[in-house]
Amino acid sequence: MLPRPALQRPPPALRRLSLLTLCLVAGALSAAGAAGAGSTIRVPEDAPSLFQAIARAGPGDSILLGPGTYDGGAVVPASKHDLTIRGVDRNRVVLDGRDVRKNGITVHADRVAILNMSAHNFRENAFFWKDADDFRASYLTVWNVEGYGIYTEGSSRGVVDHDYVSGAADAAYYVGECNPCDATIENVVGTLSAVGYSGTNASRVVIRNSRWSSNGAGIVPNTYANEEDPPQERATIVANTVTGSGRVPVPIRTPLAGFFGIGIAVAGGNANEIRDNRVEGSARYGIAVFPTAHRIVFDPSEERRLGPPWRPFGNRVVHNAVSGSGGADLALAAGSGPGNCFSGNDSPTSLPRALQVASCGAQLPVGDSSVAAELTAPVRAMVEATVRRRSPPVYVEMPVPPPQANMPASFSWKPTGGP
């Protein structure tokens, strides 16, 4: 987790569903093919709380949460691998952090799936996998958290799909500090958050067929030496819709605040493929590639001791439709490394002006000095300037999202993810 600037707090609560829905989903669970052939522990019928259900569960078991509001703060230890935690109704199985608890569910075990429920008002993260491979996060709704909505760190071979995250003060989704990650994010929504997707030092992540709207910044793979496994590299960002980045007030508790107003930002990353995306209405740049500082520091005295910047190289930005950007639709910063190619994009404006080439085998242009000056300033200065200019709302002030579609009864998941 990158160091974060400080922010604030406050509260909410929730409701109930029918026994019929519980029966239907419970019946579908056995047909859905979870990780093992273990038993199903129902809450509250078999165990009165999620904490006690986890304590009782063995590898391969399933926990089925009935309608209601749960405290959160549950931890799945490494010994409870191959576990499925599933709600009977996405909108009525709710973890409420009450702006006091740090995390909704924290997972330290491999092959754990969390499915079909909601979480809100946690001081850090709603759903958190730490050093836990083969993870699955499906049909989850998250709103108003001070950190991340769905957060995986040091965890590989996962799938994040059909989720909706709103009002995250850091990032709606995070996959990071893994090499290779071999993770997939698809068919998700990230909105009204400081950053839609942040991936620090994340290698081989696929982000596709998703919607990123009205975030401070949209999709931001990034490199910093604060965390393990730098640099970030080999992400595939394809067929996403990114709209209105930097256009509306969002909570801010992220060191990436200096990149607000960018739809897709490659911040110090290498060999990424960005293609067939639609990026509209970004406040500054639609798609930008630029260097980052060696590491993030907030103490000005440490800036003199930073290592060399991470210079992005070998990134391909091809066949995207980018329009309505406040600064330029496409941008490459001076000081970037070699081999960054912009070709075949439907994009009226760019910096430098001759950024696009006929093909990626052609002579590639040098980056723009004004883009570099704007995006490679000291991190602390960029964050402070963004907060001062925007006067951001507190995360608890963001709106509650509308009800979301439940996981289909026919849905099945496999414990091994990956692109």
Cβ neighbours of 16 (radius 10 Å):
10
Question: Is 190 part of a structural domain of the chain?
Answer: yes
Alpha helical stretches, state H, 265-392: 369-375, 379-390
Question: Is 414 part of a structural domain of the chain?
Answer: no
Q: Which domain holds residue 351?
A: 19-397
Number of domains, the chain: 1
- Are the beta carbons of 325 and 281 closer than 8 angstroms? yes
Query: Is residue 371 over pLDDT 70?
Result: yes
Query: Is residue 27 over pLDDT 50?
Result: no
Read out DSSP for 255-290? TTGGGTTEEEEEES-BS-EEES-EEE--SSEEEEEE
The least confident of 32-46, 191-205, 365-379 is: 32-46
**339, β-bridge pairs:** none
DSSP 3-state of 217: strand
387 in the Ramachandran plot: left (φ > 0), alpha (ψ -120 to 50) or beta?
A: alpha
- Are the beta carbons of 274 and 317 closer than 8 angstroms? yes
CA distance 12 to 256: 28
208 in the Ramachandran plot: left (φ > 0), alpha (ψ -120 to 50) or beta?
A: beta
CATH number at residue 208: 2.160.20
Question: Is 373 part of a structural domain of the chain?
Answer: yes
Question: Is 380 part of a structural domain of the chain?
Answer: yes
Torsion angles phi and psi, residue 260, rounded to 5: -60, 145
Stretch 38-51: mean pLDDT, rounded? 96
Query: Is residue 31 over pLDDT 50?
Result: no
Stretch 368-376: mean pLDDT, rounded? 97
CA distance 50 to 56: 10
Question: Is 3 part of a structural domain of the chain?
Answer: no
Quick: pLDDT tens for 154-212: 999 999 999 999 999 999 999 999 999 999 999 999 999 999 999 999 999 999 999 99
Q: What is the DSSP letter of 396?
A: G
Question: Is 2 part of a structural domain of the chain?
Answer: no
Query: Is residue 286 over pLDDT 90?
Result: yes
Question: Is 4 part of a structural domain of the chain?
Answer: no
Residue with tokens 């760190």: 153
**270, β-bridge pairs:** 233
Question: Is 145 part of a structural domain of the chain?
Answer: yes
Single-letter code of the amino acid located at 247: R
